[in-house]
Amino acid sequence: MQTITSVFEMQTLAEDLRSKGQIIGLVPTMGALHEGHVSLIKLAAEQADTVVVSIFVNPTQFGPSEDFTKYPRALEADVAACEAAGADIVFAPTAEEIYPKGYSTYVIEEHIAKPLEGVSRPSHFRGVTTVVAKLFNIVRPDLAVFGQKDAQQVAVIKKMVADLHFTVDVVVAPTLREQDGLAMSSRNRYLTATQRIEALVIHRALRKAAGMVAAGECRVDRLIAEATHLIAQHRRVRMIYTSIVDRTTMEAVKGEIVPGKVVMTIAVWVDEIRLIDNELL
Ligand code: PAF
């Protein structure tokens, strides 16, 4: 496995691989890799001849009051994890390499990016679409794997791919969970033991809603009320939103859901740690 830090070198190698007919799979990450990322890399390896994992803590997707400088960085361990998971190339550029001095071009999706995460993190998806478009242009992948845990990110990227005529197949991998149900996330490492126990209510609330749907309850207000009620019982957990939205457009569903078409998304603060999760209903 090789590690590349230069855009030019990555582009040249990708062109060479493509000309030899290799199928390139990209797994974009911000590092601090966990088992969830490993499952994305393994999925990419099943479908591609060459797997590129990008490791880049993207400054443009963090808001001014967010945790960019505190975001966990563990390049050496990440590179080892990529190799063990079957990656062929780690692309780990510096911020200057991706955003040289004077950089001023951004990619903005204007609808799907607006609700949910877009309300409390207004510039977040602008950063995500910009860096993912750049990675697509640098790595020229045939397929790129993203986790279902970031359901809105998946919807925004699929829309960008369609709108900008990228020829990348967006592959969505299921959310990997700890044994107790907590969705795997690089931010989980900030949780104390007590906070971690409190955070389990997110998955319980989602499962409760899924159970209600399985039992025939399709009224959006009933499903949201039950999830909200569960979360409200936890002192350290403050709800940012609980919403049931269309899986493709991320528009809020009113009245009754059509099972199989929607996703319930939850974002909370557990003290100062922001966590998100979702469940397909
Ligand atoms: O999901 C992430 O880790 C990031 O948003 C991504 C897709 C790597 C872009 O920086």
Structural contact between residues 14 and 140, judged by C-beta atoms closer than 8 angstroms: yes
Residue whose CA is at the smallest distance from ligand 1 atom 8: 29
CA–CA distance, 73 with 33 (Å, rounded to integer): 9
Strands 262-270 and 2-4: unpaired
CA distances from 47 to 36, 53, 234 (A): 17, 14, 42
pLDDT band at 142 (very low <50, low <70, confident <90, very high): very high
**Average pLDDT of the residues of the chain:** 97
CA–CA distance, 204 with 254 (Å, rounded to integer): 23
Report the alpha-carbon angle 158-161-163, nearest 5.
105
Active site residue 37: yes
pLDDT of 145 strictly over 90 = yes
DSSP state of 179: T
**Ligand 1 geometric centre to CA of 103 (Å):** 20
Strand partners, 133: none
* 160 close to ligand 1 (CB < 6 Angstrom): no
Average pLDDT (162-191) is 97
**Ligand 1 geometric centre to CA of 237 (Å):** 25
Among 6, 11, 94, 1, smallest CA distance to 53 is for 1
For a ligand 1 pocket test, name from 90, 150, 171, 188 the mutation site with the most ligand atoms within 8 angstroms of its C-beta: 150
The size of the chain, in residues, is 281
For a ligand 1 pocket test, name from 67, 132, 139, 145 the mutation site with the most ligand atoms within 8 angstroms of its C-beta: 132
Q: Give the percent of the chain with pLDDT over 70.
A: 100
CA distances from 119 to 5, 12, 219 (A): 34, 39, 24
pLDDT of 7 strictly over 90 = yes
Q: Element (H or E) spanning 241, and its range?
A: strand 237-246
Please give the pLDDT value at position 105.
98
Average pLDDT (251-274) is 97
**Ligand 1 geometric centre to CA of 11 (Å):** 20
**Domains in the chain, CATH or no CATH each:** 2-173 (3.40.50.620), 186-280 (3.30.1300.10)
Strand order in the sheet with 262-270: 237-246, 262-270, 273-280
Report the alpha-carbon angle 239-241-246, nearest 5.
150
Please report the beta strands in 43-138, taking only residues with DSSP state E, as ranges in sequence order: 50-55, 89-91
Query: What six digits make up the tokens of 265?
Result: 């998304």
Among 42, 14, 33, 9, smallest CA distance to 142 is for 14
Strands 273-280 and 169-173: unpaired
Query: Which residue matches tokens 């592959």?
Result: 171
Query: What six digits make up the tokens of 95?
Result: 């911020």
Strands 237-246 and 262-270: antiparallel
Point out the ligand 1 atom lying closest to the alpha carbon of residue 157: 7
Structural contact between residues 196 and 238, judged by C-beta atoms closer than 8 angstroms: no
**Ligand 1 geometric centre to CA of 128 (Å):** 6
pLDDT of 67 strictly over 90 = no
Torsion of CA 92, 81, 63, 234, to 10 degrees: 180
Please give the pLDDT value at position 269.
98
* 55 close to ligand 1 (CB < 6 Angstrom): no
Q: What is the pLDDT of residues 85-115, one digit of tens each?
A: 999 999 999 999 999 999 999 999 999 999 9
Alpha-helical (H) ranges within the chain are 7-19, 35-47, 75-85, 95-98, 117-120, 124-139, 151-163, 193-214, 220-232
Catalytic residue among 37, 124, 203, 234: 37
CA–CA distance, 51 with 262 (Å, rounded to integer): 31
Residue whose CA is at the smallest distance from ligand 1 atom 7: 28
